[in-house]
Structure 1
Amino acid sequence: MEYDFLVNTYETERIKTLSVWSMFKDEDLSLRPRPHDKRGRNAREQMIHQCMSENIWFCNMLGIDVGAPPLPKQEARLEFMKRYAEDSGKRLAALRKKDKVWWEEETSFFDVKRPRTWIMTRRIAHTAHHRGQQTIMLRMLGREIYSTYGPSADTGGLMQYRAPTIYPYPTIEALIEGETIGRPKASLPGPGDKPCTERPDPE
C-alpha cells in the first residue's frame, strides 16, 4: 500500500518516544529546564502532553479511538510508559487496516480540512519536536542519551567516526519488561577521544 511508510514510521516513533522516557529517572519528572520558569514543561508534563495530544489527534482527526483513558491512574514514569505503549499499539493496529482511500480522504484539522496523510505527517513531526525538547532536558540533567535516529555522544559520537547506533532496548516489550524489573539498559561506550560535534570548543 502506498502509505505503509507512514504506518512504519509511526511504529518506529513509538519506541523512540518510549526510549527517551526510559532515560529519565523517577526523580527527574518534576524538574524544569529553568527551575522557577513554568513556561518550560517538565518531563511529567511532556509525558502527559504526549498521551493526551496523541489521543485527541487520533480520536478527532483520524477517527481512531482506542477506548481507553489517555493517562494512567498513577502519573509515574513507568505507568506513563505502559499506558502509551498499550494505546499506541492499538492505534498502530488500526492504522495497518486502513486503505488508500481512507488515507487520502480530507478531514478536519482544527479549523481547516487536510488529508489524513498530511495530518499523520504532522503528528509524527509533533512527537519528534517534543522528543527533542526532552533529550535536551536529559543532557541538562546529566543523563546518558541513547540513539533516536543515529549515534549520540554517549554511543560513540559522530557518524563520520563510525559511532554505532545503540537503543536502550531492542523492542517495546523488552523496554517495558526491563523498566518494570530494573534490568540494565544496553551498555554505552561513551564518546571516546574524538569530538562529539563538528565544531568543538577550542582547546
Structure 2
Amino acid sequence: MRYHFLLDTYETERIKVVSVWGSFRDVDLSTRPHPTDTRGRSVLEQMIHQCISEDHWFKTFFGIDVIASPLPDAHSRRSFIERYWEDSGRRLSALQNQDDGFWEEEVAFFDTPRSRAWIMVRRVAHTAHHRGQQMAMLRMLNRELHSNYGPTADTGDQVVYAYPDFETLLQKLGDSL
C-alpha cells in the first residue's frame, strides 16, 4: 500500500502522546502555562482535547468509530493514557484495513474537500503541535524531557525515549503514582 507510511507515523505518534502524558504527575493536571491566563490549556484540558478531537476527526473524516466514550470515567493521568491507547489502537487497526482508494478519496474537511491522506498528515501535525505545548509545560515544571523526533538539547543531543513500549510506560506509572 502506497500510504503505509501514514500508519507507521500514526503508530509512533501514539506512543509519543502517552509518553509525554506519562511525564506529568497527577498533581500537574491543573497546571496552565500561566496561572491567570485561561487561554492556555491545563494539562488535563490538553488530554481532554486530544481524546475528543481525535475521536471527532476519525469519526467525521475517516468513518472510524471506536464505539467508546473518548474520555475515561476518572480524570487521572493513568486513566487518560489507558483510554487514549486503547482507542487509538482500535483506530490504527481500522486504518490497516484500508486501501489506497480510501486515502485518496476526498471528503469534506470542514468546508474544503481534502484527501484523507492530507487530513491524516494534518491530524499528526495537530497532535504534534499540542505535544509541543505540553513539553513546554514539562520544562516549566522542571520535569525530565525525552526525545520527541530525534536528538534534542533536552537529551544531550542523543535519541532518548522515555519508554521502549506501552507496557513499560504503564509499569513506570505504577511506580510514580
TM-score by length of 2: 0.96
Distance 2:159 2:168 in 1: 18
Which among 161, 165, 168 is matched to residue 162 of structure 2?
168
Equivalenced residue count is 176
What is the Cα deviation at residue 152 of structure 1? 3.2
Match of residue 104 from structure 2: 104
Q: Which has the higher helix share?
A: 2
Q: Give deviations 1:155-176, integer Å, cap 9, x for gaps.
A: 22xxxxxx32111110122212
Distance 1:101 1:154 in 2: 41
What is the Cα deviation at residue 26 of structure 1? 1.1
Match of residue 50 from structure 2: 50
Match of residue 132 from structure 1: 132
Amino acid of the structure 2 residue aligned with 1:147:
S
Distance 2:124 2:151 in 1: 21
Higher relative contact order (CA 8 A, sep 6+): 2
What is the Cα deviation at residue 29 of structure 1? 0.8
Match of residue 182 from structure 1: 175
The residue matched to 2:120 in structure 1 has which SS?
helix
Q: Which is higher, the Rg of structure 1 or of structure 2?
A: 1
Distance 1:151 1:29 in 2: 27
The residue matched to 2:69 in structure 1 has which SS?
coil
**Gapped regions of structure 1 (runs ≥ 5):** 157-162, 184-203
The residue matched to 2:90 in structure 1 has which SS?
helix
Distance 1:33 1:155 in 2: 22
Q: Give deviations 1:9-32, integer Å, cap 9, x for gaps.
A: 000000011111011111111011
Distance 1:136 1:61 in 2: 30
What is the Cα deviation at residue 113 of structure 1? 1.3
Paired residues for 1:185-196 under 5 Å: none
Match of residue 144 from structure 2: 144
Distance 1:101 1:127 in 2: 25
**Gapped regions of structure 2 (runs ≥ 5):** none
Task: Say whether 1:95 aligns with 2:95.
Answer: yes
TM-score by length of 1: 0.84
Distance 2:152 2:74 in 1: 32
Distance 1:100 1:154 in 2: 38
Paired residues for 1:106-125 under 5 Å: 106-125=106-125
RMSD: 1.1
Where does structure 1 differ by over 6 angstroms across 4 or more consecutive aligned residues?
none
| Equivalent pair of 1:145/1:153 in contact (CA under 8 Å) | no
Distance 2:94 2:50 in 1: 19
What is the Cα deviation at residue 153 of structure 1? 3.3
Q: Give deviations 1:62-106, integer Å, cap 9, x for gaps.
A: 101111100000011110000000000111111111001111111
